[in-house]
Amino acid sequence: MNETLWLSVLAILAGFAALIWGADRFVHGCAALARNLGVPTLVIGLTVVGFGTSAPEILVSVVSAINHTPQLAVGNAIGSNIANIALVLGATAVILPLTVNSETLRREYPLMFIVMLGVLMLIMDNALDRLDGILLLIGLGFILYGIVNLGMRKQRIDPIETEFAQEIPDTTTPLSILWITIGLGVLLASSHALVWGATNIASALGISDLVIGLTVVAIGTSLPELAASVMSAWKKEPDLAIGNIIGSNMFNLLAVLGLPALIEPHSLDDTVLTRDYPVMIGLSIALFVFAYGFRGPGRINRIEGALLLGVYALYMGIIYLDNIH
């Protein structure tokens, strides 16, 4: 392996580590600041925390588009959604089965499917242009407005609200602003390092930017969700674990695909519609069936978690086989 490839690998590893730390500090600062400003707990959890855990994907995709590698951004968005459900929730459920009681999450499931179908309609022409980007960001605005309305109107305590309250830090406003600034700076720097390393390796190995985005970058940018979900399950906060994933997946489709489309309109690889998007929809349906709870609390048990992990391993194998042919 030559010197450039070694540096690229180091840039990816360092970028992942910095992304995790930066995202944690960014979310910490934003959540604490929102609490200090009097924002309701449920609104903070559903918007600030969900959007914050998608910050790595958003910045990596923006940097990818600026560097003229928009396919990496597409792979990052869809690959992260697949990893969030199959890898993150699968691994979490294998460690600790998840029982879901939140009525708020049950209202978010249909919202997630509406977002997925809306994005599918926009990409059916195998392209994302600036109009698509504008529509995606308008959709993001509507989603945020709806979630905020939901949080403001709650009359009784939802289990997920109690879980959010336990996680939002008690930090002074000046310190919160400092953590937001530091976290955002680290996220930006680590995103540049990660994209530089990933595109170098893709070029050297003859792998497409899409594949690198779907695999290496998607797994790396999903690490904050993995850490958050495992810790939530460990603290007996299962609604929070699944809520992070649902929120992150909606933000990934709307913001992570929308911003790069505005910066650099681009066409999509055929496999996005024939392979990757169907896998994402299938896994989302599986999550709904497992976790919705048609006759009481929803539950993802260890067997279902192992099944999700198996699907993810199979998906990685399919990508590998497609790439060597």
Task: pLDDT tens for the chain, 325 residues: list them.
Answer: 567 788 888 988 898 888 888 878 887 888 788 778 877 766 676 677 667 777 888 888 898 999 888 999 999 999 999 999 999 999 888 988 887 766 666 777 888 899 999 999 999 999 999 999 999 999 999 888 877 776 666 555 556 666 566 667 778 888 988 988 898 888 888 888 888 888 888 888 888 889 988 998 888 888 777 877 777 777 776 667 777 788 889 989 999 999 999 999 999 999 999 999 999 999 999 988 887 766 666 778 899 999 999 999 999 999 988 887 6
Distance of CA 184 to the CA centre of its chain: 17
pLDDT at 236: 72
DSSP 154-194: --S--HHHHHHHHHS----HHHHHHHHHHHHHHHHHHHHHH
Neighbours of 160 (CB within 10 A): 25
Amino acid at 294: F
pLDDT at 313: 95
Cα 107 from Cα 114, distance rounded (Å): 12
pLDDT at 82: 96
Nearest to 218 by CA among 65, 68, 80, 14: 80
**Cβ 129 vs Cβ 257: under 8 Å:** no
**Cβ 70 vs Cβ 268: under 8 Å:** no
* CATH superfamily of the domain spanning 42-158+206-324: NCX, central ion-binding region (1.20.1420.30)
Cα 84 from Cα 223, distance rounded (Å): 9
Q: Give the start-to-end residue ranges of the domains of the chain.
A: 42-158+206-324
Distance of CA 37 to the CA centre of its chain: 26
Query: What φ, ψ does residue 172 adopt, rounded to 5°?
Result: -65, 155
**Cβ 18 vs Cβ 190: under 8 Å:** yes
pLDDT at 150: 65
pLDDT at 46: 64
